[in-house]
Amino acid sequence: MPRVTHVKSARKDNPVCSKGESYYWWKFRFGGKHFSLTYPKQSQLTQSPYLSVIYDCQDTWGELSVAFEAAYKDREATVTGLGGVADSMESVAENLRELVEQYEESASNVEEYFPGSEQVENLRNSGMECDSTCDEIDNMVQSVRDTCDEISGLELGEDFFLPEDADDDDKAAAKSDAIEAWDMEAQDLIDNIEFDDPNFDFHEV
């Protein structure tokens, strides 16, 4: 990867900042100079179309891990948060599936001119491993969505055991107990979700 240089005060305006502002820059052996206000992501530091997608997916998954931990707040926030996580997981899988097609297309092109080339085998192996990662993500997505459905079906039931003449304090205590019981059930469901880092280390080319 290219070396990234941090400039604390620009001498003149550039594509991302004005004179006096801070920025980062880097360049490849074959390619122009690149600028960024923030430290560049891994995907910005490679010219490989494969690694660019893989690194972007890894970065997204790191953000998803944070969102997954934050999703458990209350019933509505939990279902909404986990649903958003599942949507983003599906987007990662879709991007990787496009990469599977790209591996196969590249393998076919190389094979046409260099039959028996080791690169052909590497491209196809990478594509198969990438496809397996997509299946792995699909299973996790289903686990998250199933859990959302189960959490949505949980009932608080705070009035179930209250007599008609219960006072406000009794109602408040009953509701608190019911919410605590719901929390425990929801947390048990979340703890059983299949969510882990998928295999992104499949690029052999």
In tens digits, the chain (205 residues) has pLDDT values of 899 999 999 999 999 999 999 999 999 988 889 999 999 999 999 999 999 999 999 999 999 988 888 887 777 788 999 999 999 999 999 999 999 999 999 999 999 999 989 999 999 999 999 999 999 999 999 999 999 999 888 876 555 556 667 677 777 787 787 778 888 888 889 989 999 999 999 999 8
The DSSP bridge partners found for residue 7 are: 23
In terms of domains, do 12 and 90 share one? no
Domain range enclosing 15: 1-40
Distance CA 68, CA 86 (A): 9
Is 91 found in the same domain as 8? no
Q: Considering the domain boundaries, does residue 203 fall inside one?
A: no
State the pLDDT at residue 162.
Answer: 60
Same-domain pairing of 57 and 84: yes
Is 198 domain-assigned? no
Q: Does some domain include residue 157?
A: yes
Total number of residues shown for the chain: 205
How many domains, in total, are found in the chain? Answer: 2
Tell whether 89 and 131 lie within a shared domain. yes
Q: Are both 149 and 172 inside the same structural domain? A: yes
Cα(109)–Cα(92) distance, rounded to whole angstroms? Answer: 26
Residues 121, 24 share a domain: no
**SS3 category, 27:** strand
| Shared-domain flag, residues 17 and 110 | no
Both 129 and 185 in a single domain?
yes
8 and 103 part of one domain: no
Q: Residue 163: what pLDDT?
A: 62
Q: E strands within 38-177?
A: none
Task: Dig out the tokens for 205 from the structure.
Answer: 């080319």
Same domain (yes/no): 65, 165? yes
